[in-house]
């Protein structure tokens, strides 16, 4: 897609934001990569870092730092990786392929969801909440590439989002966990 067309698409998607029918992020339904429902209310009292992930991206080595962040702060942080194939078709695998890739190459033990869309007309409700101020009450954004991160506070409020270039171990993120 050319930059002008992508910009116009982003503008039109911002203008078409609709309120999703949930009281909080904890009410959003999404499945784990194994197909079992994830109950986000289990993470009340912890920060949640949502990251749209892909196995064939230049940022894929961030899995290592995401795992290190999770190991260091898992008492107060839940990381949830959200596979997405919308950026350069860099997550082509099925659930089994994605799971084994994450475990074998990066020792991932944090939660991975089913593969979803994070933008466009089929955007998952989780990303409608994360990216639209009408839903999160804080700010709107658009997911620009793989490994963009969204940090939600321990009480379910969006804190901020961080571009793909922000390392998971950055003080921009860790300062909220200390």
Enumerate the active-site residues: 57
Q: Is 136 helix (H, G, I), strand (E, B) or coil?
A: helix
Helix axes 95-106, 62-73, angle to 10 degrees: 70
Spatial neighbors of 143 by CB under 8 A, at least 6 apart, are 52, 84, 118, 119, 127, 131
**Residue corresponding to tokens 């991975």:** 112
The helix (H) or strand (E) run that includes residue 137 is none
């Amino acid at each position: 897609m050319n930059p002008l067309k992508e910009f116009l698409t982003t503008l039109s998607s911002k203008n078409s934001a609709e309120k999703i029918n949930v009281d909080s992020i904890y009410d959003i339904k999404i499945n784990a990569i194994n197909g079992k429902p994830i109950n986000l209310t289990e993470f009340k009292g912890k920060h949640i870092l949502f990251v749209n992930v892909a196995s064939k991206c230049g940022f894929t080595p961030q899995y290592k730092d995401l795992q290190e962040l999770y190991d260091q702060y898992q008492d107060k942080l839940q990381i949830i990786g959200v596979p997405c194939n919308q950026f350069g078709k860099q997550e082509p695998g099925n659930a089994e392929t994605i799971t084994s890739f994450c475990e074998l190459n990066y020792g991932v033990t944090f939660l991975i969801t089913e593969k979803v869309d994070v933008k466009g007309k089929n955007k998952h409700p989780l990303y409608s909440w994360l990216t639209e101020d009408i839903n999160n009450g804080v700010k709107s954004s658009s997911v620009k590439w793989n490994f963009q991160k969204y940090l939600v506070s321990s009480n379910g409020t969006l804190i901020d989002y961080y571009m793909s270039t922000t390392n998971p171990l950055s003080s921009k993120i860790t300062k909220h966990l200390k």
